[in-house]
Structure 1
Amino acid sequence: MQNNQQQNASKTNAQKVKKQNQQSAQGQNYEFASETDAQQVRQQNQQSSQRKQQAKGQQQQQ
């Protein structure tokens, strides 16, 4: 009965969430990071930034 009090109405395991939060704060949670290629994201951001600058330059010329 004590264990049921640790879980709220949504059946969330509070201990598990606390552990995940602690790991995330320490940079140990790679669950989402492993799905993301940081180098690719940087490259896409750079390309987007360059396109914005080019578009801005073309607007100023008109």
Structure 2
Amino acid sequence: MKNNQQPNASKTNAQQVQKQNQKSAQGQNYEFASETDAQEVRQQNQQSEQKKQQASSKKQQQ
């Protein structure tokens, strides 16, 4: 069986890229899932929450 598609060296889905570009042009915050490190985001959120709690406790002491 012969593959009728032309070889695509980069394996880029042009239609998907166009959709992402449209969303970006519309000002929507669109992030590629593959570029997101979930563990790093959780860690940053945890650090942020700790800083909030520290700031809150300092205000209560004053």
Match of residue 59 from structure 1: 59
Could you tell me which runs of 5 or more consecutive residues in structure 1 were left unpaired when the two chains were aligned: 1-15, 21-30
Higher helix proportion (structure 1 or 2): 1
TM-score normalised by length of structure 1: 0.50
Q: CA RMSD in A?
A: 2.0
Is the partner of 2:50 in helix, strand or coil?
A: helix
Aligned residues: 35
How far did residue 36 of structure 1 move?
0.5
Q: Detail structure 1 runs of 4+ shifted over 2 Å in the superposition.
A: none
The 5-angstrom pairing of residues 1-62 of structure 1 reads 32-62=32-62
TM-score normalised by length of structure 2: 0.50
Q: % of aligned pairs identical?
A: 71
How far did residue 46 of structure 1 move?
0.2
